[in-house]
Amino acid sequence: MTKRCRVRLCSAQSNRRQDLSTLCYLCGNPLGDVESDDHVVPSTLIQRSQPKVKGFEYAGKLPTHQKCNNHFGPEKYAAKALALLAALDDPNTFLERVLVRNPAIKVLAINADKLPTFTRKDLEFFKITDVRAKEEREWSTPEFFRDKKRTNPLRDATYVALSVLAKSAAALLIKRKGLAIPSSWRIFACPFTGSLSGLNLSGEALALDHGVHAVIKQASNGDWFVAFEAHKVVVFLLFAFVATSPEPITSLGLLDADWFVFESNAINDLLQKSWTKL
Ligand SMILES: [Zn+2]
């Protein structure tokens, strides 16, 4: 981070102290006696042994409140959300149809072979009903769906992936780039399935594990751009700290893609607030 930018960011950050060791980056409040260390990149996304393996960067940890650290539940499901997104990107993996006896009920049938690591708890989290042990005549009736909640696994998995990767990218910026914990966050995110290889992005490239990479770059106005690849899903993240138009999104050349925005005072709010589609 340049000196010029550090001054600008600090001036926009109310009266919060900037000493990293005294603030919890998840809620932004001062740390007390009970502290915890939070992995900058969640351990659920890293399969290699940590901390150090030749050829990979160890992103380290940041101090947080114990409660804030334990509270960030979606991290448990991050790898599964990414697997689900990758699976739903393959048209051979799923089938969409309506029930003949009630066309108002839409069914998304997913090939379970493509989600081999999913446990019953994972299926419950994404509100997916396992019908492998049932006959088709049983689950193809409107009565079967009477007590089932309407759901959208693609949307749910997208929001989990965005929240976990945005949190991790924020932690990377704080830990690696000295970003002062701001009094408010405005994060734009654009997810897609694929990898960073071949995109030829400029910036600092971090290899965190097989299939887990980040590229970090600061925009000329002081905002930060993080491209985060995790297990076949890539999210472009723009951390905007100045009240400008979304010019940086334009400059990324992804106008036709789906962009989401999260605005709040604390990263913890990624748990309660939904992303808004732009
Ligand atoms: Zn906290």
Centre of ligand 1 from the C-alpha of residue 184, in Å: 14
Q: What is the pLDDT of residue 246?
A: 57
Q: Are 174 and 6 in contact (CB under 8 A)?
A: no
**How many CA atoms, within 13 angstroms, populate the side-chain half-sphere of residue 193?**
14
Q: What is the pLDDT of residue 217?
A: 93
The closest alpha carbon to 233, from 169, 158, 166, 167, belongs to 158
Centre of ligand 1 from the C-alpha of residue 178, in Å: 19
Q: Are 182 and 240 in contact (CB under 8 A)?
A: no
Structure tokens at 99: 């029930």
Return the DSSP state at 275: P
Centre of ligand 1 from the C-alpha of residue 250, in Å: 34
Centre of ligand 1 from the C-alpha of residue 39, in Å: 14
Structure tokens at 55: 């050829």
Centre of ligand 1 from the C-alpha of residue 14, in Å: 18
Centre of ligand 1 from the C-alpha of residue 69, in Å: 7
Q: Work out the number of other CB atoms within 10 angstroms of the CB of residue 93.
A: 17
Residues with CB under 5 A from ligand 1 (ion): 24, 26-27, 65, 68
Q: What is the pLDDT of residue 17?
A: 42
- Please list the pLDDT of the chain residue by residue as tens digits (278 residues): 333 333 233 333 433 445 556 899 999 999 987 688 899 999 888 887 767 777 888 888 999 998 898 877 777 888 899 889 888 888 888 888 888 888 888 888 888 888 888 999 999 888 899 988 888 888 888 999 888 888 888 888 999 999 999 999 999 999 999 999 999 999 999 998 888 887 888 889 999 998 899 999 998 888 999 999 998 899 999 999 876 655 556 656 666 678 899 999 999 998 777 798 88
Strands across the sheet containing 276-277:
204-209, 212-218, 224-230, 233-239, 185-193, 260-264, 276-277
Centre of ligand 1 from the C-alpha of residue 24, in Å: 5
Query: pTM for the complete prediction?
Result: 0.83
Centre of ligand 1 from the C-alpha of residue 13, in Å: 17
Centre of ligand 1 from the C-alpha of residue 183, in Å: 13
The closest alpha carbon to 261, from 163, 155, 126, belongs to 163
Centre of ligand 1 from the C-alpha of residue 272, in Å: 15
For Cα atoms 202, 204, 210, give the angle at the middle one, nearest 5 degrees.
105
With tokens 């002081």, the residue in question is 222
Q: What is the pLDDT of residue 14?
A: 39
Q: What is the pLDDT of residue 34?
A: 65
Centre of ligand 1 from the C-alpha of residue 28, in Å: 6
Return the DSSP state at 82: H
Phi, psi of 128 (to 5 degrees): -100, 130
Centre of ligand 1 from the C-alpha of residue 73, in Å: 14
Centre of ligand 1 from the C-alpha of residue 177, in Å: 21
Structure tokens at 228: 């985060």
